[in-house]
């Protein structure tokens, strides 16, 4: 019990970890809330479901407000991708990362403008800016999937050739390659779940936009969030 409490405490002390916990609660509340709210109207289960849906909406709004203060950290993180960090870095992988971070960097201002429009702080159509934000978010997720696929291909080649010289500037060893491949596979699954929800939020007529039932949206978000928690915990253990 004590190790679990220490793990949770360490998770909540980190801004990134705290956001992952809130995101998981947000989507799981949506999933359970949708299922329960479909029970007999007026029943205790139905009322609990509605309460969970309200909590999910409030947590989602809370995360949006918190992201208002992430611009500087995102900009600082993006600057690290301007140039390849090592001569051995795959250039295709590098430029995918550059484009991915550019999409994220542009997504945040669009989301901020949509938030300000909804709060009536500025005169603008929030739907238009929210659409821009969704498109950029989907673009970032798609590029993230391409990056993970590319990295998986490179790791597989390293694993098959057993060429340790490729990792001479890295602290990772050949024995860790299968673990890194599993991490990238989880990243692909997580990004695909989020991309599915992003397409669902697009205007009707685009692929499966607007066709997901609410419980499926919650399920996809919960799956992605749980994978994020697992990856965050694994990263901290490695450090």
Kindly indicate the confidence band of residue 13, based on its pLDDT and cuts at 50, 70 and 90: confident
User: What per-residue confidence (pLDDT) applies to 134?
Assistant: 97
What does DSSP assign to residue 203? Answer: P
Query: What is the distance in angstroms between the CA of the first residue and the CA of the last residue of the chain?
Result: 23
What is the pTM (predicted TM-score) of this model? Answer: 0.86
Top pLDDT among 133 and 91 is at 133
Average pLDDT over residues 145-156: 93
Distance in angstroms (rounded) separating the CA atoms of residues 77 and 70: 11
User: What per-residue confidence (pLDDT) applies to 218?
Assistant: 96
For 203, list phi and psi in degrees, rounded to 5.
-60, 145
Contact of 113 with 130, CB cutoff 8 Å: no
User: What per-residue confidence (pLDDT) applies to 175?
Assistant: 66
What are the tens digits of pLDDT across the range 178-187? 889 999 999 9
Inform me whether the pLDDT recorded for 73 exceeds 80: no
Domain ranges of the chain: 1-66+214-239, 70-202
Segment holding 231, helix H or strand E:
helix 214-238
User: What per-residue confidence (pLDDT) applies to 222?
Assistant: 97
Segment holding 146, helix H or strand E:
helix 126-161
């Amino acid at each position: 019990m004590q190790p679990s409490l220490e793990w949770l405490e360490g998770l909540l002390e980190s801004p990134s970890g705290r956001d992952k916990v809130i995101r998981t609660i947000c989507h799981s509340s949506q999933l359970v809330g949708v299922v329960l709210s479909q029970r007999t109207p007026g029943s205790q289960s139905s009322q609990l479901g509605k309460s969970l849906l309200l909590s999910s909406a409030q947590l989602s709004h809370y995360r949006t407000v918190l992201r208002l203060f992430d611009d500087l950290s995102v900009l600082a993180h993006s600057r690290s991708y301007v140039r390849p960090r090592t001569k051995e870095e795959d250039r295709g992988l590098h430029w995918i990362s550059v484009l991915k971070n550019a999409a994220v960097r542009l997504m945040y201002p669009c989301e901020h403008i949509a938030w300000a429009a909804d709060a009536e702080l500025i005169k603008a159509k929030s739907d238009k800016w929210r659409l821009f934000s969704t498109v950029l978010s989907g673009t970032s997720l798609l590029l993230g999937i391409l990056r993970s696929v590319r990295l998986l291909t490179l790791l597989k080649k390293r694993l098959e050739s057993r060429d340790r010289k490729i990792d001479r500037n890295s602290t990772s060893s050949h024995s860790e390659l299968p673990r890194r491949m599993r991490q990238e596979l989880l990243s692909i699954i997580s990004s695909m779940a989020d991309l599915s929800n992003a397409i669902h939020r697009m205007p009707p007529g685009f692929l499966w936009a607007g066709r997901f039932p609410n419980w499926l949206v919650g399920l996809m978000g919960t799956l992605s969030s749980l994978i994020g928690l697992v990856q965050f915990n694994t990263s901290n253990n490695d450090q």
